[in-house]
């Protein structure tokens, strides 16, 4: 199963990490897309480290990140700098999507 996680707030980091790890431990793939205030989590190294886990894909809305002045420091090439198209792709690919 592929689990999509749409993140539009920066308030649930521990939940995001826990859900991602739990899904991976059950053999599922995780697709994460950040937008709006959720792009602020990109400044947190614990959040960015999720993309290095086998089975996790991560992208974010560049327009939202720029609008909020989110720092690009520490963002690796594994995290796709994209647009709402990446959100649509996640919804299309995922079997289930949760919003945090």
Instruction: Count up the domains in the chain and report the number.
Output: 1
Q: Which residue, among 6, 53, 49, has the nearest Cα to 28 in the 3D structure? A: 53
Q: Edge to edge, what strands does the sheet with 56-61 contain?
A: 79-82, 56-61, 29-34, 2-7, 96-99
Q: Is 44 helix (H, G, I), strand (E, B) or coil?
A: coil
Reading the block at residue 87, the tokens are 């959100």
Residues 21-74: pLDDT tens digits?
Answer: 999 999 999 999 999 999 999 999 999 999 999 999 999 999 999 999 999 888
pTM of the model: 0.94
Domain that holds residue 19: 2-99
CATH number at residue 88: 3.40.1260.10
User: How much helix, strand and coil, in percent to the nearest 5, is found in the chain?
Assistant: 45, 25, 30
């Amino acid at each position: 199963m592929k689990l999509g996680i749409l993140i539009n707030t920066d308030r649930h980091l521990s939940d995001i990490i826990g859900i991602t790890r739990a899904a991976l431990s059950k053999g599922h793939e995780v697709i994460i897309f950040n937008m709006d205030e959720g792009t602020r989590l990109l400044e947190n190294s614990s959040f960015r480290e999720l993309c290095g886990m086998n089975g996790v894909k991560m992208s974010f809305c560049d327009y939202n990140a720029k609008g909020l002045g989110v720092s690009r420091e520490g963002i690796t090439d594994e995290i796709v700098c994209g647009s709402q198209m990446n959100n649509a792709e996640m919804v299309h690919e995922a079997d289930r999507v949760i919003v945090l």
